[in-house]
Amino acid sequence: MIDLRSLVRTVPDFPKPGILFRDVTTLLGHAEGFRQTIDTFVARYKGAGIQKVAGIEARGFILGGAIAHGLGAGFVPLRKKGKLPGEAVGHDYALEYGTDRIEMHVGAIDAGERVLLVDDLIATGGTAEAGVRLVRSAGGDIHEACFVIDLPDLGGAKRVEGLDVRTFSLFAFEGH
Protein backbone atom coordinates (compact mmCIF):
# COMPACT_ATOMS: atom_id res chain seq x y z
CA MET A 1 0.00 0.00 0.00
CA ILE A 2 1.23 3.43 -0.94
CA ASP A 3 0.97 6.34 1.49
CA LEU A 4 -1.33 8.42 -0.75
CA ARG A 5 -1.01 11.47 1.49
CA SER A 6 2.71 11.59 0.72
CA LEU A 7 1.93 11.91 -3.01
CA VAL A 8 0.10 15.24 -2.55
CA ARG A 9 2.30 18.26 -3.18
CA THR A 10 1.95 21.23 -0.83
CA VAL A 11 2.50 24.60 -2.48
CA PRO A 12 3.00 27.40 0.07
CA ASP A 13 1.51 30.86 -0.48
CA PHE A 14 -0.76 29.83 -3.36
CA PRO A 15 -3.09 31.34 -4.49
CA LYS A 16 -2.27 33.97 -1.86
CA PRO A 17 0.15 34.42 1.04
CA GLY A 18 -0.53 32.20 4.03
CA ILE A 19 -2.35 29.48 2.09
CA LEU A 20 -0.92 25.96 1.84
CA PHE A 21 -2.34 24.69 -1.47
CA ARG A 22 -2.80 20.90 -1.50
CA ASP A 23 -2.11 19.86 -5.08
CA VAL A 24 -3.63 16.48 -5.89
CA THR A 25 -2.27 16.46 -9.46
CA THR A 26 0.95 14.86 -8.22
CA LEU A 27 -1.09 11.96 -6.83
CA LEU A 28 -3.04 11.70 -10.11
CA GLY A 29 0.25 11.58 -12.03
CA HIS A 30 1.56 8.65 -9.97
CA ALA A 31 0.23 5.52 -11.72
CA GLU A 32 0.05 3.26 -8.68
CA GLY A 33 -1.15 6.06 -6.40
CA PHE A 34 -3.93 6.95 -8.83
CA ARG A 35 -4.93 3.29 -9.18
CA GLN A 36 -4.99 2.81 -5.40
CA THR A 37 -7.10 5.95 -4.98
CA ILE A 38 -9.71 4.82 -7.50
CA ASP A 39 -9.68 1.23 -6.24
CA THR A 40 -10.30 2.45 -2.67
CA PHE A 41 -13.33 4.49 -3.72
CA VAL A 42 -14.71 1.71 -5.95
CA ALA A 43 -14.35 -0.85 -3.13
CA ARG A 44 -16.21 1.49 -0.75
CA TYR A 45 -19.17 2.01 -3.10
CA LYS A 46 -19.38 -1.39 -4.84
CA GLY A 47 -22.77 -2.84 -4.03
CA ALA A 48 -24.23 0.52 -2.91
CA GLY A 49 -26.45 0.77 -5.96
CA ILE A 50 -24.79 3.91 -7.32
CA GLN A 51 -26.39 4.75 -10.66
CA LYS A 52 -24.64 8.06 -11.38
CA VAL A 53 -21.40 9.65 -10.26
CA ALA A 54 -21.51 13.46 -10.32
CA GLY A 55 -18.01 14.95 -10.58
CA ILE A 56 -17.29 18.58 -9.80
CA GLU A 57 -15.10 20.46 -12.29
CA ALA A 58 -12.26 19.87 -12.87
CA ARG A 59 -10.39 17.24 -10.86
CA GLY A 60 -13.73 15.71 -9.87
CA PHE A 61 -14.08 14.81 -13.55
CA ILE A 62 -10.88 12.77 -13.49
CA LEU A 63 -11.73 10.97 -10.28
CA GLY A 64 -15.46 10.68 -10.92
CA GLY A 65 -15.09 9.28 -14.41
CA ALA A 66 -12.75 6.56 -13.20
CA ILE A 67 -14.98 5.74 -10.21
CA ALA A 68 -18.08 5.61 -12.43
CA HIS A 69 -16.27 3.20 -14.75
CA GLY A 70 -15.31 0.97 -11.83
CA LEU A 71 -18.89 0.96 -10.51
CA GLY A 72 -20.55 0.49 -13.89
CA ALA A 73 -22.39 3.79 -13.32
CA GLY A 74 -23.02 6.79 -15.52
CA PHE A 75 -21.00 10.00 -15.13
CA VAL A 76 -22.49 13.49 -14.79
CA PRO A 77 -20.18 16.51 -15.10
CA LEU A 78 -20.98 19.45 -12.82
CA ARG A 79 -19.44 22.37 -14.71
CA LYS A 80 -18.83 26.04 -14.26
CA LYS A 81 -21.42 28.40 -15.70
CA GLY A 82 -21.76 28.45 -19.48
CA LYS A 83 -19.54 25.43 -20.23
CA LEU A 84 -22.23 22.87 -21.11
CA PRO A 85 -23.49 22.85 -24.70
CA GLY A 86 -27.08 21.74 -24.01
CA GLU A 87 -29.88 23.01 -21.81
CA ALA A 88 -28.57 23.26 -18.27
CA VAL A 89 -29.77 23.92 -14.74
CA GLY A 90 -27.52 25.47 -12.13
CA HIS A 91 -26.99 26.49 -8.56
CA ASP A 92 -25.22 29.64 -7.38
CA TYR A 93 -22.91 29.61 -4.38
CA ALA A 94 -20.96 32.20 -2.42
CA LEU A 95 -17.25 32.78 -2.77
CA GLU A 96 -15.03 34.92 -0.58
CA TYR A 97 -15.63 37.83 -2.98
CA GLY A 98 -18.83 37.32 -4.98
CA THR A 99 -20.61 34.26 -6.31
CA ASP A 100 -20.06 31.42 -8.74
CA ARG A 101 -22.33 28.82 -10.33
CA ILE A 102 -22.16 25.17 -11.25
CA GLU A 103 -24.44 23.60 -13.81
CA MET A 104 -25.47 20.22 -15.18
CA HIS A 105 -27.45 19.18 -18.23
CA VAL A 106 -31.20 18.97 -17.85
CA GLY A 107 -32.12 15.28 -17.64
CA ALA A 108 -28.62 14.14 -16.60
CA ILE A 109 -30.06 12.71 -13.38
CA ASP A 110 -33.48 11.15 -13.11
CA ALA A 111 -35.67 11.42 -10.02
CA GLY A 112 -34.76 8.72 -7.52
CA GLU A 113 -31.37 7.85 -9.02
CA ARG A 114 -28.71 7.06 -6.44
CA VAL A 115 -25.83 9.51 -6.91
CA LEU A 116 -22.28 9.71 -5.59
CA LEU A 117 -20.85 13.25 -5.50
CA VAL A 118 -17.07 13.42 -6.13
CA ASP A 119 -14.37 16.09 -5.92
CA ASP A 120 -10.68 16.07 -5.13
CA LEU A 121 -10.81 18.24 -2.01
CA ILE A 122 -13.29 19.72 0.43
CA ALA A 123 -12.34 23.02 2.05
CA THR A 124 -15.15 25.44 2.99
CA GLY A 125 -17.76 23.22 1.32
CA GLY A 126 -19.41 25.86 -0.87
CA THR A 127 -18.92 24.01 -4.14
CA ALA A 128 -19.89 20.66 -2.63
CA GLU A 129 -23.02 22.20 -1.10
CA ALA A 130 -23.95 23.62 -4.50
CA GLY A 131 -23.42 20.17 -6.01
CA VAL A 132 -25.69 18.58 -3.41
CA ARG A 133 -28.41 21.15 -4.03
CA LEU A 134 -28.10 20.80 -7.81
CA VAL A 135 -28.36 16.99 -7.74
CA ARG A 136 -31.29 17.17 -5.35
CA SER A 137 -33.06 19.73 -7.55
CA ALA A 138 -33.17 17.03 -10.23
CA GLY A 139 -34.57 14.53 -7.74
CA GLY A 140 -31.33 12.62 -7.26
CA ASP A 141 -30.71 10.75 -4.01
CA ILE A 142 -27.18 11.48 -2.81
CA HIS A 143 -25.61 8.39 -1.30
CA GLU A 144 -22.47 10.21 -0.12
CA ALA A 145 -20.05 12.99 -1.05
CA CYS A 146 -16.47 11.76 -1.34
CA PHE A 147 -13.13 13.50 -1.58
CA VAL A 148 -9.49 12.56 -1.65
CA ILE A 149 -8.59 15.36 0.80
CA ASP A 150 -10.46 17.05 3.65
CA LEU A 151 -9.26 20.34 5.14
CA PRO A 152 -11.21 19.98 8.41
CA ASP A 153 -10.14 23.36 9.82
CA LEU A 154 -12.27 25.01 7.10
CA GLY A 155 -15.43 23.13 8.05
CA GLY A 156 -16.60 22.00 4.62
CA ALA A 157 -17.39 18.39 5.54
CA LYS A 158 -19.50 19.54 8.48
CA ARG A 159 -21.30 21.99 6.20
CA VAL A 160 -22.22 19.21 3.76
CA GLU A 161 -23.17 16.86 6.60
CA GLY A 162 -25.50 19.64 7.78
CA LEU A 163 -27.45 18.98 4.58
CA ASP A 164 -27.96 15.37 5.74
CA VAL A 165 -25.30 14.03 3.35
CA ARG A 166 -22.54 11.77 4.62
CA THR A 167 -18.99 12.62 3.58
CA PHE A 168 -15.92 10.46 3.14
CA SER A 169 -12.31 11.50 2.56
CA LEU A 170 -9.25 9.33 2.11
CA PHE A 171 -7.24 11.60 4.41
CA ALA A 172 -7.07 15.07 5.91
CA PHE A 173 -4.57 17.88 6.18
CA GLU A 174 -4.81 20.06 9.27
CA GLY A 175 -4.36 23.75 8.53
CA HIS A 176 -4.95 25.34 5.19
Give the domains, in start order, of the chain with CATH numbers: 48-172 (3.40.50.2020)
> Which amino acids are annotated catalytic?
59, 96
Q: Using one digit for the tens of pLDDT, what is the confidence trace for 91-115?
A: 999 876 779 999 999 999 999 999 9
Predicted pLDDT of residue 174: 87
Q: What is the 3-state secondary structure (H, E, C) of the chain?
A: CCCHHHHCEEEECCCCCCCEEEECHHHHCCHHHHHHHHHHHHHHHCCCCCCEEEEECCHHHHHHHHHHHHHCCEEEEEEECCCCCCCEEEEEEEECCEEEEEEEECCCCCCCCEEEEEEEEECCCHHHHHHHHHHHHCCCEEEEEEEEEECHHHCHHHHHHCCCCCEEEEEECCCC
In sequence order, the 6+-apart residues with CB closer than 8 A to the CB of 49 are 114, 143
Between 18 and 102, the higher pLDDT residue: 102
Predicted pLDDT of residue 154: 93
Rounded to two decimals, the pTM is 0.96
Predicted pLDDT of residue 98: 79
Q: Using one digit for the tens of pLDDT, what is the confidence trace for 159-172?
A: 999 999 999 999 99
Predicted pLDDT of residue 176: 63
How many Å apart are CA 121 and CA 80, to the nearest integer? Answer: 17
Q: Using one digit for the tens of pLDDT, what is the confidence trace for 26-65?
A: 999 999 999 999 999 999 999 999 999 999 999 999 999 9
